[in-house]
Amino acid sequence: MKSFASAGLLNLVQRVIGAVDPELIAGEAMSDPFARGIAPARSKRNLVDRAMEKHGPGLLLSVGQHLHLIGDTPVATVFRRSADPHVLADKWRRLERYHHAFHRIKIAPLGDEGWDCRRYGITSKPTIGENCLVAGVLVGLVEMIGATDCRLQVDGSEWRAAGLRKAELPRGATLETFRIVWAPFQQRERPALADEPATAVNMADRLADLLATDVGRSWKIAHAATRMAVSTRSLQRHLAAEKRSFSTVLRRARMRQATQLLTGTATPLAEIGYCCGYADQAHFQRDFRRVTNITPKRFRDMAGAFLPGAKIQ
């Protein structure tokens, strides 16, 4: 199985490195995250290794400070909606699995104020440059969702996020292991829903609206019940009384988002499933066909005939 990189991440790397050293990207085709969601992993690896050799770790570690350059991509939006760093970490790991990445990361929480990270390879070890890039991007993502005083720690050395561009690694450091820490995180979850004014909306509708606030999250019924200020068992009983289940309501929320992305954006098919919370493309295809009786591609082709203003790919 081939390994792939996120086209959005490759685009970001190309833009940041190209702004510092145009020669390093001379002759390269610029990755377009709105044309195709994935890119060959070797394209990113080769560029990262050249940048590491010529400019050292600082440039790659600083890439995450420029996430605004790809802020309009669906994957960046999925990350930005994360309620806390632990939800963010789960989304990152799911992205690696979704794209069958050969190089992955294990993230262990350090309470609520940090991560202990270890990079590893499925078939080969990641390079130091790749480790620098991932570490820097993770720092940027944690900042993006609202963490403050973010710092990267490597073998006894520490750099604040804003100072990563000038970072020099300790002798012998490979960044296979590192820590990211931050000040106590202020949760961005909305207030519990139990005290909202009663309306004609039933429990299934309320649940669907909650799930839609971050459909890219790996929701569990216990998470949703906590947000709705009811017990898991109570939520299950309410849904059963309305002839619904958590899985069908979750599918409803995911299909709503998938339909919007398919008909109103140029988001690549390979990326839509991830943005809607699916573990892999096959699961997305099965769910979509179960609901619509056609494939996502066929649905987009059909919808394009009626939406002349949409950017369809």
Cβ–Cβ under 8 Å, residues 261 and 74 = yes
Torsion, Cα 254 257 260 262, to 10 degrees, reads -50
Residue 200, token pair as written in the block: 């004609």
Fold of 203-300: Arc Repressor Mutant, subunit A (1.10.10)
Task: Decide if 4-181 and 203-300 have a common fold.
Answer: no
Mean pLDDT over 278-291 rounds to 88
Cβ–Cβ under 8 Å, residues 29 and 11 = no
Fold of 4-181: H-NOX domain (3.90.1520)
Least confident of 31-45, 116-130, 155-169, 263-277: 31-45
The residues near 1 (Cβ < 8 Å, ≥ 6 apart) are 100
Residues 48-101 have pLDDT tens digits of 999 999 999 999 999 999 999 988 788 888 899 898 999 999 999 988 888 778
Residues 233-261 have pLDDT tens digits of 999 999 999 888 999 899 888 988 998 89
Check residue 200 and give its pLDDT: 35
pLDDT tier, 306 (very low <50, low <70, confident <90, very high otherwise): very low
Check residue 312 and give its pLDDT: 37
Q: Structural domain boundaries of the chain?
A: 4-181, 203-300
16: how many CB neighbours lie within 10 A of its CB? 20
Residue 233, token pair as written in the block: 């068992």
pLDDT for residue 46 is more than 50: yes
Cβ–Cβ under 8 Å, residues 7 and 14 = no
Torsion, Cα 200 260 83 156, to 10 degrees, reads 170
Torsion, Cα 23 25 27 29, to 10 degrees, reads -160
d(CA 249, CA 208): 6
